[in-house]
Structure 1
Amino acid sequence: MNQPFILYYTPGTCAQAVRIALEEAGATYDLRRVDFASQQQRSPDYLAVNPKGRVPALVTEQGTLTEAPALLAYIAQYFADAKLAPTDLFGFARMQEFNSYLSSTVHINHAHRPRAARWADDADAQAAMQRKVPGNMTENFQYIEDHYLKGPWVLGEEYSVCDGYLFTVAGWLKGDSVDIAQLKNVNDHFQRMKERAAVQRALA
């Protein structure tokens, strides 16, 4: 199977994890960059693709999919020969557990810094939320440090779509005033990921 996809993407966002997965899978895809600086994600043309006004969005033959964990699971299953996900039920669920944690907890804690206005109009309230970001992100990544990365990759000895997702989110730590060097396993993983050819292609 070598169906072309269309990935709507903004560099540095969680959409980067999806691009890494497509590169790892050897997928044929077209890349459409969405310019957040000009609010392109709010344009009628993009809202016709993804009414949520967010990235990523992946256009497939069957329709458009959104939300990074869903896209990562889809790519891993569509390109099963690439071995980007565990094949046993428990392992697959553990992959979903990790990706859901990044999406529903870590990403939200990070977003309180650049997008505090989503949750409050009051400037003092926004500033209070932003002050919490370094501590919350440190706590989240300490959990990852302690409970995952028991081998070279997130789930142990086998690479999976979790790895590109963690690499992407770990890339936000510097902006969140968290020193990744204090997280040995996370930092080692981050450096290891930068050496992968698929990651280098995705970042080019």
Structure 2
Amino acid sequence: MLKLYHAHHSTCSQKVRLALAEKGLEYESVIVDLANKAHLTPEYLAINPNGVVPTLVHDDASITDSSVIVEYIDEVFADHPLVPKDPVARARVRAWMRFLEEVPTYAVRVPSFNKAFLNRFDGLTNEEFADQQAGPRPLRKHFYLKMSKDGFGSDAVQESIDQMKLTCGRMQRALENGPWLAGQDFSLADVVAAPLIDRIDDLGMSDIWAEEFPLVGVWFAQLKARPSYDVAMYKGARLSETHAISDLIKN
């Protein structure tokens, strides 16, 4: 039995849903209400002490960290492998996964908050906002401490854009030997990249790759044509479907 604790618009949840869909696996879905801090309750922290989504429960084992989860899924369920057998190709996939976790996963959070999530803080006094920032978050507390009620400033936004451009540039070079990031076969590298590129597009920022890195757009179109995409990115899973998308920096 597989049970997935996840959130509709969480990019980390989306990549796990995509891996499950690629494998054709069914699971019990448990939606965690991030806006109401359900991920920080004692009950949820008992299965994921990091206080983030997603968490995969397989029988009695809780598997945490989205990249760990997708590797676990691929190892335990052997059909439709998402990692190559060749050790060098497998290392290439894992190197992509580490880079994607280190650089664009963090980078997309900045425009996500600035363009979609700031209304959570509307009407709060400075003291109430400070309480929100300093809440009991096992991870990402300092991420919240870096922003004001108006979101992240121009320096943080520019750093985020630079990191997303760096990512798209690397993707462009890899995709010259594509059609997928690790070569001819769709892999976990593409699974991890998918929700990040989708989020950038959903926030109206596809100009980051449109002209300079066109192969990223080709890759994205191929991704959306896969049956797994509609399964993982079901109606209501994209931010623009449920949130008003505003300017990147408040005036």
Computing the radius of gyration over CA atoms, which structure comes out larger, 1 or 2? 2
Does residue 190 in structure 1 map to residue 187 in structure 2?
A: no
1:7–1:31 Cα contact (<8 Å) kept: yes
Does residue 159 in structure 1 map to residue 189 in structure 2?
A: no
Compared with structure 1, are the counterparts of its residues 145 and 166 closer, same or farther at alpha carbon in structure 2 (3 Å cutoff)? same
Aligned residue runs from structure 1 range 57-76, under 5 A: 57-61=55-59, 63-76=61-74
Compared with structure 1, are the counterparts of its residues 131 and 29 closer, same or farther at alpha carbon in structure 2 (3 Å cutoff)? same
Partner of 2:210: 181
Partner of 1:34: 32
Runs of 4+ in 1 over 6 A off after TM superposition: none
- Superposition TM-score, scaled by structure 2 size: 0.72
1:57-105 CA deviation, whole Å, 9 max, x = no partner? 1111351111122111111111222121111222222111111111112
Compared with structure 1, are the counterparts of its residues 130 and 28 closer, same or farther at alpha carbon in structure 2 (3 Å cutoff)? same
Shift of residue 181, structure 1, vs aligned partner: 2.3
Shift of residue 41, structure 1, vs aligned partner: 1.3
Partner of 1:46: 44
Aligned residues: 201
Higher mean displacement: 155-164 or 124-133: 124-133
2:113–2:151 Cα contact (<8 Å) kept: no
Shift of residue 23, structure 1, vs aligned partner: 1.1
Which amino acid is the alignment partner of residue 199 of structure 2?
A: W
For the aligned residue pairs, the C-alpha RMSD in angstroms reads: 2.3
Higher mean displacement: 161-170 or 148-157: 148-157
Whole-Å Cα distance in 1 between the matches of residues 72 and 151 of structure 2? 38
Instruction: Structure 2: state its 5+ residue gaps.
Output: 115-132, 134-141, 235-251
Q: Which one scores higher on RCO, CA 8 angstroms, separation ≥ 6?
A: 2
